[in-house]
Chains A and B, each alone.
Chain A
Amino acid sequence: MKKATTHISQNEGLIFEKSSPGKRGYKLPPLDVPAVTAAKALGNAARADLGNMPEVSEIEIIRHFTRISTWNYGVDTGMYPLGSCTMKYNARVNEAAARIEGLANAHPYQPERLSQGALRVMKTLADCLLDITGQDAITLQPAAGAHGEMTGILLIRAYLQSKGNPRKKILIPDSAHGTNPATAAICGYAVENLKSNAGGMVDVPSLVAQMNEDVAGLMLTNPNTLGIFEQEIHKIADILHAKGGLLYMDGANMNALVGKTRPGDFGVDVMHLNLHKTFSTPHGGGGPGSGPVACKKHLEPFLPAPLVVEKKDGTLGFDYDRPRSIGRVRAWYGNFGMHVRALAYILANGPDGLRMTTEDAVLNANYIRKQLEGVYELPYSTPSMHEVVFSDRKQTAKGLKTGDIAKRLIDYGFHPYTVSFPLIVHGALMIEPTESESKEELDLFVDAMRDIARECEKDPDLILSAPHTTRLSRLDEVQAARKPILRWKPTSKGAAE
């Protein structure tokens, strides 16, 4: 095992369990103001009994939280090949930009003339994203990807409604992210499944057969969740447009396209971007995310208000006068802190840098594909873009599944890949390295995956009982789902009071 593991095996209890009566983590100076009794000041709201508040010393608190922080795994501790999530490096320059005082302390009620810098950030980001996507108009409001999807489908609904009929159905490929059918249903559409062909792409004859005047649109991820570029995307767009439907693109996998090709040029009417994937803003652990929605001219009137616009005198302001808008989708102007970070990323890379990022992301995925082909089964031979999907078929012969292999990968010091998705692959291992990883880190990952494949042959029990180096070993996921324990309960009366 070449790589040191990141997990520290420590038996750390809950802070409540450390409590003992009378311990304190603070010391106050003598009272130098008149004393006030709580009951007198607060009436019934005063509490003498604080319930389960832990009583611990300062060093105990510090050690407790420092220890549990070491059980974490993030992109700053190692490769995070969680396919479809694009867990790339969150550059420190983004954080420096987001902490510039005038941006960090800006207030949404600040007058426009005092917010020109913040407005310029939003306008420049919007212009860059339009350039990257080949679209005509954009809203930065949506808070994350699925929220962007909902905004996009509401735009489609509003547009079709304005033509007299919002239609009934949305077509969704069987390889799609689960959020796509959920979005369509939330927006009042019936979902119709579209099957994939042997190459892992949309089956065009099925699309032709299923497309009719009841279909509002198709929600397509490109490259799709198999990491495969939809090679007939033009034809797909034409089939939809010929019957008055619209093409929505889930931009989750834009990391494979930036600087290379533009959805607006291959027939996409509306799409979302995940700034927390493609544009390097923090992902996971609360983010927050950001899911701008870009669209073609015909959908622009329906975009949420307000939009940032340039006024005649050259200053920037908010345009609220949008009578056909679907309305606000979020308070204020979206997750502005993420707009700053994404813009910092775009400007730091520049057009050539962004293009190279895409090339490196695709190169890294294909390096892993080449190194692991034959060790794990490759269900689709169509060329990969930014991620590669293997199947666990070779390993299931020994009774080992993708989830077991993923658990063992933790022992080697890596975050697991995406397990069992997309569903059209038997026991999927979905691996997305991103451009952030060096060849050295990729080689460590490849070594780990090869070692695990050997272990599957020789010592299946080692895999079935993994992980071994984490604080807790294999958890009972089934029981956790069937009979979840959702809150801590004191074990003794003493601990409770």
Chain B
Amino acid sequence: MAYPKELKYTKEHEWVRVEDATGDIGTIGITDHAQQALGDIVFVELPKPGADITAGKSFGTVESVKAVSELYAPVSGSVTAVNEELNTTPEKINREPHTAWMLKVKIKDKGELASLLSAGDYEKFVAEEGK
């Protein structure tokens, strides 16, 4: 699966998409590499709307048949929406990792986006990590 160019990536395998004109809202999910490494996802634990998340810190967990893993925030901000659909159909993350979003956040500091990886750099990072 190709990594979409419009997303920004973390080394912990999350992505963020900034789509609205103002650039205030970021949508967050996990990458195709992450879902492959985790295997079949059975449960996702996410913060509630209104909660604050901090770049680089854990904002929730994702559980697969193999293990429970932490989710790390790509940017800081306050949660405006949570994808409730994942409560009943967590397999969407396995099927469409780059569209099955987890959170929408009001970004606190747009400067943080600059330190994230581009699709090309992330792909290189994953290839390097797999060696």
Identify the A interface with B (CB < 8 A). Answer: 178, 420-421, 423, 426, 477-478, 481-482
Contact = CB atoms under 8 A, between A and B. Distances in A.
A482 B66 contact: no
Q: Which 10 residue pairs are nearest across A and B when measured between Cβ atoms?
A: A481-B42, A478-B40, A420-B66, A482-B42, A477-B65, A478-B65, A481-B65, A423-B67, A478-B42, A482-B90
A481 B67 contact: no
A324 B10 CA distance: 46
16 contacts: A178-B68, A420-B67, A421-B67, A423-B67, A426-B130, A477-B40, A477-B65, A478-B40, A478-B91, A481-B40, A481-B42, A481-B43, A481-B63, A481-B65, A482-B43, A482-B90
A478 B41 CA distance: 8
B91 to A, nearest CB: 7
B121 to A, nearest CB: 21
Given A178-B67, A420-B66, A420-B67, 12 more contacts: A178-B68, A421-B67, A423-B67, A426-B130, A477-B65, A478-B42, A478-B65, A481-B43, A481-B65, A482-B42, A482-B43, A482-B90
Contacts of B42: 478, 481-482
A423 B91 CA distance: 21
A482 B67 contact: no
Secondary structure at chain A's binding surface: helix, strand, loop or mixed? loop
A478 B40 CA distance: 6
Contacts of B63: 481
Interface of B: 40, 42-43, 63, 65-68, 90-91, 130
Contacts of A481: 40, 42-43, 63, 65
* Interface-centre pick from A421, A426, A481 (highest chain B CB count, 10 A): A481
B67 to A, nearest CB: 6
A450 B36 CA distance: 27
Contacts of B68: 178
Contacts of A478: 40, 42, 65, 91
A482 B66 CA distance: 13
Nearest to B40: A478
A317 to B, nearest CB: 45
A329 B63 CA distance: 30
A481 B68 CA distance: 13
A179 to B, nearest CB: 12
A239 B43 CA distance: 39
A482 B64 CA distance: 10
A393 to B, nearest CB: 10
A1 B67 CA distance: 33
Nearest to B68: A178
A426 B39 CA distance: 12
B36 to A, nearest CB: 11
Contacts of A426: 130
Nearest to B37: A426
B88 to A, nearest CB: 9
Contacts of B40: 477-478, 481
Nearest to A182: B68
Contacts of B65: 477-478, 481
A204 B65 CA distance: 32
B100 to A, nearest CB: 15
Contacts of B67: 178, 420-421, 423
A178 B61 CA distance: 14
A478 B42 CA distance: 7
Contacts of A423: 67
A123 to B, nearest CB: 41
B27 to A, nearest CB: 24
